[in-house]
Amino acid sequence: MTPADFLKQGSAFDMAFLPSQASLTQQLVLPQLETILQKLESFRTEVDNEFVAQLKQTSKSTREQVEGEINLERYPLGFCRQIRDRTYARMLADVFFQDLIKSGLRLRKVFIFLRGQYFQNALQLGNFYFDVANDTVFIDKPKLDWAPVGKVDYENVDSWQRFEAVGCEYLKIEFYPNLIFPLAFPAMPFFAIRSNGSLEFVELQTSLFFKDLGQDMKLSIALLNDAAIMNKKLPDYYTLELERLFAGNLFQAFPLEYAPSSPQEILEGVVSEFQEMSRNPPANASATISAYLELITNADKQLRTRNLIPPRDELQRLRDAGLVQNEPEKAVTTTLE
């Protein structure tokens, strides 16, 4: 893989106006927009019905719902990616959309920041944007939204700092730099503390990681040089718990080395190593990167199972100090029947 290959892979979910799709959009999308919307509405109904059936077969959870997590009992809240993906699969299997694609119209899944406020999983058909999960943040909104790409207020996911800024508001979590497990930093540079106090890694973002590999790790370098973020200190309760659990570096218990580091040490260590890989990719670069992503994904899952939540009085102190976000008001429950 070359840097261009890395960048292409990282940009796979970007949205953009495509000049090559302009005439096809005029010829194939606009005249048939009503048919397209009717089909998407039908697919969305099918997806909803699938989740209805799944809910009926699932035992009711006794666990308190945490902001930023998804729970079938609150569907469709938070299910934008799942709804988008199931609709996309139906489009690929549908003769009408197959004919559009054979005619040269491009269909792709996109992941963007919408209006600087939301993580958005949507679809791009030609130069049209379709959101088939428009009600997954506020369930009183219409299920479908659409517009020409040029009229959508969006950004592609190109910066860890923007990811942190949007994610903090959208997911109601506090972000802290991961300076404790440096090997994970290029793909998981943040810890997340949810509103219930639980500590996790921020979920792996492969798009940003591959964009970074394709740009000589400039995204990680920019983040490590951002003093406002790097100086945000993980509260003592969590640092002490991570030390207690992982300082022994028993790799059969946890796959990442516990090695608290400064931003400069991470820059000169793991980031420098990835720079060398991106500049001079070895023959087995794909296998090496796949193994790396599998390793840190496993670490992410294992950290979540630890359920690191402070005692009630400590959690309240952290909230009072503004180090953990307050629990939001209870959201509206599921609309499934």
In a domain, 173, yes or no: yes
In a domain, 121, yes or no: yes
**Does 189 lie in the same domain as 293?**
yes
Tell which of 100, 133, 156 closes a domain: 156
pLDDT recorded at residue 64? 52
**Does 178 lie in the same domain as 137?**
no
Number of folded domains that form the chain: 2
| Of 304, 305, 308, 326, residue with least CA distance to 317 | 326
**Does 91 lie in the same domain as 207?**
no
Torsion of CA 44, 48, 51, 56, to 10 degrees: -160
Return d(Cα 45, Cα 218) in angstroms, integer: 43
**Does 282 lie in the same domain as 171?**
yes
Per-residue confidence band for 252, with pLDDT thresholds at 50, 70 and 90 = confident
**Does 309 lie in the same domain as 202?**
yes
Tell which of 123, 156, 189 closes a domain: 156
In a domain, 334, yes or no: no
In a domain, 332, yes or no: no
| Of 270, 299, 274, residue with least CA distance to 289 | 274
pLDDT recorded at residue 334? 45
Return d(Cα 220, Cα 160) in angstroms, integer: 8
pLDDT recorded at residue 74? 83
| Of 268, 280, 219, residue with least CA distance to 10 | 219
Q: What percent of the chain has pLDDT over 70?
A: 93
Lowest mean pLDDT among 57-66, 159-168, 233-242: 57-66
Torsion of CA 254, 197, 239, 220, to 10 degrees: 80
**Does 110 lie in the same domain as 39?**
yes
Q: Which residues pair with 119 in a beta bridge?
A: 113
**Does 124 lie in the same domain as 72?**
yes
**Does 169 lie in the same domain as 120?**
no
pLDDT recorded at residue 70? 66
Return d(Cα 104, Cα 144) in angstroms, integer: 24
| Model pLDDT for residues 176-225, shown as the tens digit of each residue | 999 999 999 999 999 999 989 999 999 889 999 999 999 999 999 999 99
**Domain membership of residue 164 as a residue range:** 160-320
In a domain, 79, yes or no: yes
The pTM (predicted TM-score) of the whole model is 0.88
Q: Is the pLDDT of residue 337 over 70?
A: no
